[in-house]
Amino acid sequence: MRAIAGARTSMGKDKMVDRAVRQYHLSLREKKEKRPTGPPRVIAITRQLGSGGRRIGEALGERLGWPVYDKEILEMLARKSHAGYRKEMFEAVDETTQSEIERMLNAFLGQADQSAYFYLLPKAILTLAQINCIILGRGANLLLPDALKVRVEASLPTRIANMVRFENQSAEQARRKIKLSDRARDKFLNELRSILPAQYQWCRTRLMYDLVINTDSFSPADAAAMIALAAERKFGCEAA
């Protein structure tokens, strides 16, 4: 039974990746067909587990008409990039942009093994950032200093209540999962920071986030509206 459930989960994630790749191609084609309007606008959202960040991202995507890429999609794209996704997505952008992405990656990681996760994940993020989009998690806020960087957080009681309500977890299960998630997130970000060269350590001299939202006080729709307004201010025009 566990094997069947695992297979179903894997198939579900594969479909998420396929849908993300198709969505990326469509958005990139639309961008090339339109008159140039400046660099892509990217919103990088980091969130605590149970804070409602995913629902906020989805509400924001609907509001702006932008694709939303979450950490599961990014992880799958990175790990599967040698199995066709490199051709389908990483090579979809023009050669000049490809070369620039490779240059940035070499600056990040030097001569790292190109099969390494910490090479492929930034490559997925930098590639997705060629179009207007919303990226959830996976250190996009560190890799994209010019993005609108948003932090979504909440108190522990709110996070537990959200997981009980939306994830069918018991309060104790939610508490344990939140603790593990916070620890894993800190570990991941520390590892990512450790490989960034000095010239990309902007987070040591600038604030990490442009906007921090506490969902104890705001609904996903409220938060999406605030982020959309912040995007208008940061990017200098209507975000959509």
What are the percentages of helix, strand and coil residues in the chain, rounded to 5?
65, 10, 30
Burial class (CB in 10 A: 0-12, 13-18, 19+), 160: buried
User: Does 175 have pLDDT greater than 80?
Assistant: yes
Domain ranges of the chain: 2-235
pLDDT-derived band at 4 (thresholds 50, 70, 90) equals very low
pLDDT, residue 172, reads 94
Q: How much is the average pLDDT of 212-233? A: 94
Tell me the pLDDT tens digit for each residue of 65-108.
Answer: 999 988 777 776 666 665 555 555 554 444 444 555 556 556 55
pLDDT, residue 3, reads 46
3-state DSSP of 6-21: HHHHHHHHHHHHHHHH
> Does the predicted TM-score (pTM) go above 0.95?
no
pLDDT-derived band at 59 (thresholds 50, 70, 90) equals very high
pLDDT, residue 43, reads 96
Answer CATH for 2-235 from 3.40.50.1970, 3.10.105.10, 3.30.530.20, 3.40.50.300: 3.40.50.300
Residue 214 or residue 10, greater confidence: 214
Kindly state the greatest CA–CA separation across the chain.
53
Residue 180 or residue 109, greater confidence: 180
User: Does 29 have pLDDT greater than 80?
Assistant: no
Mean of per-residue pLDDT scores for the chain: 77
Q: How distant is the alpha carbon of residue 29 from its chain centre?
A: 21
Structure tokens at 116: 């390494």
Amino acid at 205: T
CA-nearest of 186, 156, 200 to 51 is 156
CA-nearest of 125, 137, 135, 134 to 46 is 137
Structure tokens at 239: 């975000």
Residue 92 or residue 13, greater confidence: 13
How many Å apart are CA 51 and CA 167, to the nearest integer? 12
pLDDT, residue 205, reads 61
How many Å apart are CA 135 and CA 42, to the nearest integer? 7
pLDDT, residue 35, reads 55
Per cent of the chain over pLDDT 70 is: 61
